[in-house]
Structure 1
Amino acid sequence: MTTSRDFYEPCYQYLWSSPPTYDRMTEEKYAQLMHCIATEKPTGFTDMEYLEMPYEMKAWHGSAVRSGFMDILLQDLELEGAPRLKTLKLHLFGDSEYSYNWNDTDERGQRFMRQLKRISQAKPFNEFSLEVLMELDCTLKPNLDISHIDFYKLTKFTGKEDVNQKGRPSDVLPFLIEVLSQAPNLKEVRFYWGDLLASSEILRSYWDLIVKLQDIILNLEKVELFCNLGVFMHPSYLLLPPNNCKKVAYSGVFSPSWWRHFAAYPFIAVEHMSLFSVGCNMHDEIFVIFEDEGGNKKMSLGESGKREDTSKILLEPLSMSGLKWFDMSAKSAFQGAGRFGTWPANTVKRVLEANRYLTTACIKNLAIETAGRVEKALREEEEFELAHLADDLPVAFTPQLDLQREKARGSLRREEEAEKARQDDPGSVSDDDEKYAFEEGPEDWVFSRTGKYYGS
């Protein structure tokens, strides 16, 4: 099909070139595609190596079904079996307000899922992989028979929670336990949780399920990459990566208790860590860390703690000592616009003390990020942070810190001059004059007087 010019227009934009954008096919485009299939008589899907079922194809209704395309795909899969298929990627979303509904209760839908499982099971493990992107929503499980999915071949799993609506733990936790316990060959695990903060009572109510899920994750021996973005259950709970995982990313609202647990945990196999923290001032949950009979570190709930501000605490020396790369920029965690996070003031110092194998590029990056925090603390007159951010840092940090201090002084002088000019002549200074650009490594940033950072 990819060699036919007749298939270029309906397929290239929507099917071949841009799966990551998940542009949905229109009725008109499906009609074009079906006309091409009828006139060109393609040989089917015998050479197909990659099959991705995105949003508009996952339910047995809509344009893909009405046009007849899904029936053709199903027929070819049943007749030919996709002998060269190497990767199958499924998007399984529930019936929430913000998503489409996966419903394989239709007879053809069940046939389709069973055929995909037969194809998966017929392939040797080293010749086939399954990737699943799944919405962590309570409406998904009733409409999806997970027995139709060969989780043994699952290599990449992404669980996404609605950004505006957290799933019920009574649905989400058992579902994740059921799925991940059947996936011993996972290599990449990503969680995207919503940012809505739950009550700390949620930890006490579902503690046994949380511990069970954590144990399953710890024992996923083949996982190389683990991302936990957003708030899992509560800001004080640190969801640990698999024991052998080398690359880890965290981002979200982290409480002082989260940071203390982070400092105490060894992360034995982790070599690359990206971390972006939005601080919080809240009543914390206290976790008690202890060793079981086998010498493994475990954690249990203690009493609720006092209210603390993340930026006003200091970390104990870190147990993590094998890092080759560590950064704390939003760009690294979200792969989007960068901004400064909130972390304990001596975090960088503790990372450098404990990890002797950090690369030169990593240290330079940490210097830039620390300098940005120093500049921000100077502006906001945060005495505690200023006293500890640059405390006992390597000489390599000095040029960046001095540069940011000078820029902060210059910016403050300009603000004072602008304020004086406004008082002398209220119409002489525009709002745009209140923003001052400065470079932060390879990125440009703009600081506004409200204390927020924006990518320019």
Structure 2
Amino acid sequence: MNSALLRPKTRKNGLSTNICYQSLWSTLRLYDKPKINDRGRICFKLARLIKAQGINNTGVEHIRAILLHRYSLTCTNGFVKSGFIHVLEDLLASGRLNLKRLELRYNLSWYTETEREELFGFLRRLREYSQRKQPDEFSMAIIANPIFLESGIHAQVLDMEKVTSLDLEMDWQYKGCGNDERQQIFDSSWEDSDSDYTDHRDGLNDLDDEEIWPRPALDHHASADSTRPSNLEIDTSQYNTRLAGILTHLLSLTTNLKFLAIRSIRDSGKRYADFKLSPQLKVLQTTIKDLPRLHTLRIQGKLFHPSFFVTPPDSAKVVDYDAVLSNKWLRCFRECDFTNVTHLNIKFRKDVQGRGKGCRDFRRRPVDYVQVSGLLRCDIEGFDIVAPDLGVCILRSNGKLDGLSKKKLLNEVEHPLQGPSFTV
């Protein structure tokens, strides 16, 4: 927001005119976009303006959308220190603010009891306001580490029914606060993710031979204390049943979700073990598949394991996958018909650190065919890393692709990335 627009305009007789226009206030971004960590300077300007002119002489009542960045809900930020948090809290409580949308980076985790009351007081007012509205009257976009949205915490302050956009930042190195329950990283009840179907056409059934590829031995130190790294340096994200449960419960509450992004912001850098689909991950798959109104699904980076495939719900139109993805992931992909998906984007990232080395999930194999056939737009990069014939299969099965998509796929087919030699 331009600070010059916050200064009151005056007539020649000294009387002030309307200092702000409705269009200026309709979307209130409480930070400078190029300087997202601006310590809330805009909030101080707004607070001074309201103190000098009074709420009735400003454009506050025209606010329809509020955008709060990740540092807003901390007591050191200007949103709190300036007192602007209480201005909005009072407007919400009085009904003078007809808010339509809120974008919130939710990261409340460390605070004193005094800070808790101040910060959660605003969120409770917001929840009360939200519960008075219908889903088509008010919606929220939440950006958060899912650990911060555990059951019992977010239920106190967020109306999950009104969340239509959810951007989950997966920090695989974050273990939570000191009083978090310890995670048992290995379990004896894993099921093979390929046990649901087998197909003689794929030529990959030899990959399921447990005698050839045994599971890594249990590291007793890691199981006793999950904050200590495994001596085997094996990535154990697929065994994180606590996080799988948090995601499942969270998504079961967001019945009006239209946009879902799950993306990794940090990874452990350890080697991948062969993937085993646990009961908890199966439930998570089903929960995402059953989201009734989801339009866009975006997976960026590792989600538990490069072989963990997430099927979009029937309502989805746009699907993006961008990560290190294995041939075992592709086996599930090729069997998915993506019922109503029209826009599909996949970027196969190179495993530059060789973390899949020795893991059977990463053998380069052809897919032979794909079930998806209703695509209008498709952009797939780097498929030669995993399956050299994927581009041809997509082109063969999707005759309605637009010209640009066909051109890009043909370019990938003609100029594939240099990968390991193809073997059958």
Mapped to 1, the partners of 2:112 and 2:99 lie a distance apart of: 23
Deviation for aligned residue 1:190: 0.6
Are 1:361 and 2:408 an aligned pair? no
Q: Looking at both structures, which has the greater relative contact order when contacts are Cα pairs under 8 Å and sequence separation is at least 6? A: 2
Are 1:133 and 2:143 an aligned pair? yes
Write the deviation string for residues 303-336 of structure 1: whole angstroms up to 9, x where unpaired. x9746433xx11121111111111124xxxxxxx
Query: Secondary structure of 2:408's partner?
Result: helix
Change (3 A) 1:158 1:29: closer
The residue aligned with 1:309 is 363
1:279–1:309 contact (8 Å) kept in structure 2: no
Are 1:192 and 2:277 an aligned pair? no
TM normalised by structure 1 equals 0.65
For structure 2, the residue ranges without an aligned partner over 5 or more in a row are 9-18, 177-182, 184-239
The residue aligned with 1:90 is 104
Query: Secondary structure of 1:117's partner?
Result: helix
Please, which of 143, 159, 163 is the counterpart of residue 154 of structure 1? 163
Please, which of 70, 78, 82 is the counterpart of residue 93 of structure 2? 78
Higher deviation after alignment, 110-119 or 221-230 = 110-119
1:165–1:196 contact (8 Å) kept in structure 2: no
**Aligned length, in residue pairs:** 341
Please, which of 133, 144, 164 is the counterpart of residue 123 of structure 1? 133
1:25–1:56 contact (8 Å) kept in structure 2: no
2:317–2:343 contact (8 Å) kept in structure 1: yes
Change (3 A) 1:51 1:274: same
Deviation for aligned residue 1:222: 0.9
2:323–2:348 contact (8 Å) kept in structure 1: yes
Query: Secondary structure of 2:406's partner?
Result: helix
The residue aligned with 2:376 is 324
1:236–1:255 contact (8 Å) kept in structure 2: yes
For structure 1, the residue ranges without an aligned partner over 5 or more in a row are 285-303, 330-338, 389-456
The residue aligned with 1:172 is 243
Mapped to 1, the partners of 2:114 and 2:366 lie a distance apart of: 52
Which of the two has greater strand per residue? 1
Query: Secondary structure of 1:131's partner?
Result: strand
Mapped to 2, the partners of 1:93 and 1:208 lie a distance apart of: 29
Higher deviation after alignment, 213-222 or 108-117 = 108-117
TM normalised by structure 2 equals 0.69
1:273–1:323 contact (8 Å) kept in structure 2: yes
Are 1:249 and 2:313 an aligned pair? no
1:198–1:234 contact (8 Å) kept in structure 2: no
Deviation for aligned residue 1:124: 2.5
Change (3 A) 1:246 1:55: same
Mapped to 2, the partners of 1:48 and 1:129 lie a distance apart of: 14
Mapped to 1, the partners of 2:338 and 2:409 lie a distance apart of: 20
Mapped to 2, the partners of 1:247 and 1:104 lie a distance apart of: 44
Mapped to 1, the partners of 2:114 and 2:293 lie a distance apart of: 31
Are 1:58 and 2:73 an aligned pair? yes
Write the deviation string for residues 327-365 of structure 1: whole angstroms up to 9, x where unpaired. 124xxxxxxxxx897341111111111111111221112
Query: Secondary structure of 1:223's partner?
Result: coil
The residue aligned with 1:39 is 52
Write the deviation string for residues 66-107 of structure 1: whole angstroms up to 9, x where unpaired. 22222222223222352x211112211255xxxx87999622
Change (3 A) 1:28 1:87: closer
Q: Alpha carbon RMSD of aligned pairs, Å?
A: 3.7
